[in-house]
A and B are shown apart, each in its own frame.
Chain A
Amino acid sequence: MAAVPSTVEASQEFLISELPEQSSLGQDAWRRLKRNRLAVVGLVIIAIFFVTALISIVWTPYPTWRQALGTTYAGPSLLHPLGLDDYGRDILSRVMGGAAIALGVGVGASFLASLTGIILGMLAGFFKGKVDALISLTINIFYGVPDLLVALILVVLIGRGLFNIILAIALTGWLGMARLVRGQTLSIREREYVEAARTIGTPNLMILSRHILPNALGPIIVQATYLVPAAIIFEAFLSLLGLGIPPPSPSWGRMASEGYKALQIAPHIVLAPCAALSLTVLAFNWLGDGLRDAIDPRMRR
């Protein structure tokens, strides 16, 4: 004879079925991110630019460097939907190529800056004392020097290659991340579970990687997302000054720099790269705002 469930077991099953489905912090954040329309639009735009950037590595309608494809300054046409620039180059091809550079610089600089900021921020917040004092002093000194000046000097010293530009931007972009992570670490290291880990003799490196970093990850992701558009803008500005990615690479900033001089006779030259630049920056900012709202526990209320 089959066993009849006791009253207690039956009531337990009932309670479980009535509980809402449990989800992780990530799933929860994703669900809330999806409800944020601007963030989704940003995500879609970024995805489009990423795909465009990937395609441009293997194919563009015309080589981005090829000149005299038609009359210089020519406006949009069927052959050249965004027109030609002052060198007779296809603007669509160059905007596509520019996407690869912008996203490469943005993501690359954001990654490097974040990595530097996370490591130094965690060291400062976790060990406190002299380590904190030294790192904080370094951060404060760097804050006192204009970002642009540091980047310009570095670019002049090490040259204008893609990696050098990423390095120059990262060198000025890690400060905010370091401060943020330091603050997070200072807070998290006092939590009970960290105390408990320390009590049972867990090595510092493991505490940092297993307990502190995962718990600080939310704000880090948001900050890293904001670093991407900042780096893109920074590269564009360096290019505008003639110190960005060297020609004939189709950097959006360089395109804008070359195009603005002809603004009165051929505004389309400056319009396309500026629109792409603005859209990308806006998209990353929307996504960053969305992520911030989605990850922030207070937003759950």
Chain B
Amino acid sequence: MATIRRRRTLAPGNREEGDGFGEGEVPYVRALLEPCFVGGGMTRSALFRSLAGALGAVSLVAACGGGGGTTSETLAADQTLRFAIIDYPTSLDPAHVDSAVDITFLSEVFTGLYKFDNNLKIISDGTTGMPDISADGKTWTFKLRKDMQFSNGDKITAKDWIWSWTRTLRLNDAYASNLYAITGAQDVSDGKTKTISGLSAPDDYTLVAKLDAPAGYWLTQLAMPTASEVLDQKVIEAAGDEHWTEKAETYIGSGPFKVSAYSAKESIDFEAVKNWWGGDTGKITKVHTDFHVDAATQVKKFESGGYDLQGMANSPAGPDDVLRYKNDPTKSKLLTIYPGARSTAVGFNFVTGPFAAKPGAKPGDPTNSGSSTSDPGLDGRRAFSMAIDRNQLADIACAHAITCQPAFGGPIVKGFKGYLGDNGDPYAKFDAKAAKDLYKKWDPDGSKVKNLEYRYNTSPSNDKRAQNLQAQWKENLGIDVKLVPSDFPTLQRDRKKKIVILGRESWGIDYDHPQDWFDNLFNCAQAPIGRGNDEAYCNPDQDAITNAANAKPVEQAVPDYVKAQKMLVNNVVWMTIDYGTQPYLVQPYVRGAGYNGLYDYGWQGIKLLQH
């Protein structure tokens, strides 16, 4: 099981309100009917009416996202793609990657065994097909492509994969846990041994992994462009483990693009790899990315023609700019809003404070069970959740619900595996009277919530969410909650100490599998101090369900995860308030750019028309 928490730290996305499409009309129909999935004509309810369909629809969006290229369109002579990101990459080393920003670049420069296509379907990358999995689910055999090579010409064999994965485990950073399913992997992470006992290479192009237990989620983890990418041992050992990413000449990968220039705090340039082993690298020949450009400045430069795209690498335009584009008939054609993959919630502390299910319990000890009814904080948590009108919150915090959608279906985001369904969270339904009655029953004299603080990390959208929550709790429960903003590291530190009583929570999906949620956020293993279950909620009955589900193929496991998630929403571990969306600004001459719910579309599919 994963023991290291991964939390993507970037901003949530955006979305908008009802477009008048009928209930039965799924987004892909709409995508067929309209030239693009544009904010100007799109509305909130339609956007999320069926994200399950939307994941299919995004491919169609891609086809139109920018106008749907035809063979008669004349390409621009200069195929240099230009965009900026708000942050810096945390690391360009696949073993150290920790954010969506990093992933944007890694997926273009490196190769894994598998990857996601624009519909989030898992497809082969460095393999010739899907893995051969033994009957007991514990032995996975991968057949590797024989034509693979790094951009410097070095051949890639199974030994390179073993060396790369061993290195990732040795460095043991955020996504090393994607390899923990392999027998002996954690021993390498813990420094007990230098080789992964469960990983072997019978020949140069076969890789065999033995697992501790069947892991239905592992294929999804392998497709994530992070820990499982293949690296060039020779180059890294020559340049140094911590320095090989610093220079273009030593930053060697096997993807369709390679770095041509890199200035750590300023910008990075890429160029297509000539004679790439994978074949055609697409029309884009160069990519230039500026670092650390705030969203408002990016939009200005986009408007002056300095950038071809805005919103790449999880750097969305601010709500006010998005609203400005949406309201302008001409500009709205440049705006595309995609379903996002982030949930934002309010978390309650289960061991300390008024909402605790088991006050005074040690973090990591069981706080709830399937049968127990002893939970002194439950009514308070439910009252706080029901007192929030999520439609109002999304309207205010997300620029008329463009940059996020109200959440009524539990933590797992709509459209992704494990989603509870619309109105699947009974305590997400706004009912001021019921909330007030429940609150009065729980805390008749107001003593429990005296000096109650809401902790959050400050950002334009988080500030708005916090102020709206404060106003709604005051209006609907008569409670004054003090807002305590801080930077993200401070909040994160206190969350992990389990001392945040009431605080902002958010999770950007790493991959489309419910295991990503439970094993990182909601199981007992993550409840002790220092781990990722910030609420210290521990329900062994729920763990039993998810552990069993983890061993099954995802299709069979989803009902179990849904059952586990119902336990979560009934216990109000998180009161989920919104699901993010992802706004993109795309110049009219750009074709093929977009977002698949988790990642930007690959650069191989993008082209620039004459303009």
Contact = CB atoms under 8 A, between A and B. Distances in A.
B324 interface: yes
Contacts of B474: 65
B392 A68 contact: yes
Given A65-B474, A68-B396, A72-B395, A265 B468 contact: no
B477 to A, nearest CB: 14
A67 B396 contact: yes
A248 interface: yes
A66 B396 contact: no
A264 B324 contact: yes
A74 to B, nearest CB: 11
A261 interface: yes
Interface size class of A (residues with CB under 8 A): 10 to 19
Interface of B: 318, 320, 323-324, 327, 389, 392, 395-396, 400, 458, 460, 463-464, 467-468, 470-472, 474-475, 482-483, 485
Interface in A14-67: 65-67
Contact of A248 (B323, B324, B471): B471
Nearest to B318: A261
A245 to B, nearest CB: 12
B396 A248 contact: no
A261 B464 CA distance: 13
A87 B464 contact: yes
Contacts of A246: 482-483
Given A67-B392, A67-B472, A248-B470, 9 more contacts: A68-B389, A68-B392, A68-B395, A86-B396, A86-B464, A87-B464, A242-B485, A248-B471, A265-B320
Given A72-B396, A86-B396, A262 B467 contact: no
22 contacts: A66-B471, A66-B475, A67-B392, A67-B472, A68-B389, A68-B396, A86-B320, A87-B468, A87-B471, A88-B395, A88-B396, A242-B458, A248-B467, A248-B470, A248-B471, A261-B460, A262-B323, A264-B324, A265-B320, A265-B323, A265-B324, A265-B327
A87 to B, nearest CB: 5
* Interface class of chain A by DSSP: loop
Given A72-B395, A86-B396, A86-B464, A67 B471 contact: yes
A19 to B, nearest CB: 65
Contacts, number: 51
B325 to A, nearest CB: 10
Given A87-B464, A261-B460, A265-B324, A247 B396 contact: no
A67 B320 contact: no
A24 B127 CA distance: 99
B588 to A, nearest CB: 21
A68 to B, nearest CB: 5
A246 B458 CA distance: 13
Contacts of A68: 389, 392, 395-396
A264 B392 contact: no
A66 B392 CA distance: 12
B336 to A, nearest CB: 19
Nearest to B392: A68
B273 to A, nearest CB: 42
Nearest to A85: B396
Contacts of B389: 68
Interface string A229-248: 00000000000001000111
The 6 lowest CB-CB distance pairs between A and B, nearest first, are A67-B471, A262-B320, A68-B392, A261-B320, A265-B324, A247-B467
A94 to B, nearest CB: 13
Contacts of B460: 261
A248 to B, nearest CB: 6
Contacts of B458: 242
